[in-house]
Structure 1
Amino acid sequence: MKSRIGPNGVHFFDRHSGLNVLLDELCPNEAVWSRSPRQVSIALTNLCDLHCTHCFAPKHKASLHADQVLGWLKELDTHGCLGIGFGGGEPTLHPDFINICKHAAGETQLAVTFTTHGHRLTPQLVKRLKGSIHFARISVDGVHSTYEKQRGKQFSSLLKGIESIAAFSPFGINVVVNKHTILELDAVSELASQAGASELLLLPQQPTNAVAGMGEIVGRKLHDWVSNYRGKVRLAVSEAGASGLPTCDPLPDERGLLAYAHIDASGILHSSSYSAIGENIEEEGILSAIEKLRKTLEFQEEVQS
């Protein structure tokens, strides 16, 4: 198991089983806290073969180099990061995606995950990923015709992708919650259960240039649905949309860049994938960029207050 020291104690994590153990009776001094965020997401590329209106990913062409990514991962691993999640764009479109996953799993202690639309998850590709990923996340925005209108792809093709990944790796299902999908959460939950997913991640829709945010009415319906949920699959919710929902946070003092950071496909570090404020990751490394970004965000807070 990998260990991490933070304000809430000593955290042990097993990337193969997903087991978390927190020794919260310990109170480590801040001087020994792990310097890396607990979790880091990395957009390997902005390329995507879908054109979803609710997508917040940048649309300009950009991709990260494999050696660059692996250098960052080794630094994060050394300083207490527990897991990295590859995204995009569509990460499976990156030409070195499989090799990046293999090296990440073999040369670090990080849990390796990725988020995908699922349509490129052929049995051949998934077989090549076996042993190199610890969890996969499949985006499922509604079912049948709702999904097809949201994603512009056949729902039957998605089901084939889910079937392929289920044979080789633990996986979860993500759903963007908006006025179209809110009425189909029961159906998505049932699909997750039948397919063998271990998690259903709710992503309240964030505003983009093309669409508005989830909205108050949908937000109330989501709160009611979560409050009455009795499904078998574990629920999770994105931090950006968790406000007002009944959530449980075992690490209440591990906030901001202690908890999470995002690297976009241009190599810029952000506090989240929705934040416009960022720092270039230069030769000094990712920890240096994190410290610079932390100071920038603290300055912003002082100015606003």
Structure 2
Amino acid sequence: MKSRIGPNGVHFFDRNSGLNVLLDELRPRETVWSMSPRQVSVALTNLCDLHCMHCFAPKHKASLHADQVLGWLKEFDTEGCLGIGFGGGEPTLHPDFVEICKRAAGETQLAVTFTTHGHRLTQQLVKQLKGSIHFARISVDGIGFTYEEQRGKQFSSLLRGIESIETLSPFGINVVVNEHTVVELDSMSELAQKVGASELLLLPQQATKAVASMDEVVGRKLQDWVTNYRGEVRLAVSEAGASGLPTCDPFPDERGLQAYAHIDASGILRTSSYSAAGVNIGDAGVLSALKRLRNTFEIQGEVQI
């Protein structure tokens, strides 16, 4: 079981069972807080074989090198990071995806997760990943025709991907909430329960060059749905879209770069995948980049603790 020290206490985490224990009776001094973010996401590649309108990932070609990624993960691991989430683009399109996952699980104490569209989850790939993945997420934006219109792939192909991912590890379902998918949230939760998902992650749509952010009408429908939700699958929501929802946060004092950071496929460290600001990690390492990014926000008056 790995430990992490922060403003809300001492956090113990077991990556195999998913057990979290927070000793919030303890209030450690700031000088001993863990330097790493609690969670880090890494876009291994910008490549994707889908063309979703709501996708925020950069469209220029870029991919990270396996040794480079592992070096960063080891730095984070030693300074209290608990989990790493691989994404993209579509992470399974990275030529060294399996190797990166295996090494991350074997050479660090980090929980290894990834987010996928699910259409490349062959039996062979799942067999190669077995034992290296602690949690997986599959993107399901709508049911049937709605999904096919949003993603440009057959819904039946997605269902085959879900069948594969449930043999790999515990998994959750992600849904981008917009005017098309908000009316299908009941069906989404029923699907999540039917296939054995442990979580339904709501991602209120963020603006891209092709689409606008989730509007107020959709936002009210989402709030009403969450308020009246009685399903068995646990709900979660992105921090960017949590406003107005009845969330429970066990780490109210752990904010900004102490809670989360993102590395894009060009090796830029950012506060989130949506943030335009960032710093190039370079040869000095990821913890050095983290300090520079924190200093940047402090200078701008946006203190990230």
TM-score category of the 2 structures, normalised to the smaller one: over 0.9
In structure 2, the residue matched to 1:298 is 298
Deviation of the 1:302 alpha carbon: 6.1
* 1:105 aligns to 2:105 (yes or no): yes
Deviation of the 1:26 alpha carbon: 0.4
CA distance in 2, matches of 1:97, 1:302: 35
* 1:192 aligns to 2:223 (yes or no): no
2:301 counterpart SS class: helix
CA distance in 1, matches of 2:129, 2:187: 29
CA distance in 2, matches of 1:4, 1:44: 26
What residue identity is the alignment partner of 1:47?
L
User: What stretches of structure 2 of length at least 5 have no aligned partner?
Assistant: none
Contact preservation (8 Å) 2:133, 2:168: no
In structure 2, the residue matched to 1:221 is 221
Deviation of the 1:300 alpha carbon: 2.1
* 1:211 aligns to 2:214 (yes or no): no
What residue identity is the alignment partner of 1:282?
G
CA distance in 2, matches of 1:120, 1:168: 14
For 1:32-43, list aligned pairs within 5 A.
32-43=32-43
RMSD (Å), alpha carbons: 0.9
What residue identity is the alignment partner of 1:153?
K
If the length of structure 2 is used for normalisation, what is the TM-score? 0.98
In structure 2, the residue matched to 1:155 is 155
CA distance in 2, matches of 1:62, 1:146: 30
CA distance in 2, matches of 1:262, 1:216: 28
What residue identity is the alignment partner of 2:226?
V
What residue identity is the alignment partner of 2:63?
S
Identical-pair percentage: 82
What residue identity is the alignment partner of 1:129?
L
For 1:171-186, list aligned pairs within 5 A.
171-186=171-186
1:3 counterpart SS class: strand
* 1:51 aligns to 2:57 (yes or no): no
Deviation of the 1:14 alpha carbon: 0.5
For 1:57-206, list aligned pairs within 5 A.
57-206=57-206
Q: Deviations over 1:176-213 (max 9, x none)?
A: 00000000001010000000000000000000110000
What residue identity is the alignment partner of 1:222?
L
Deviation of the 1:301 alpha carbon: 2.7
Q: 1:30 to 1:232 in 2, by over 3 A?
A: same
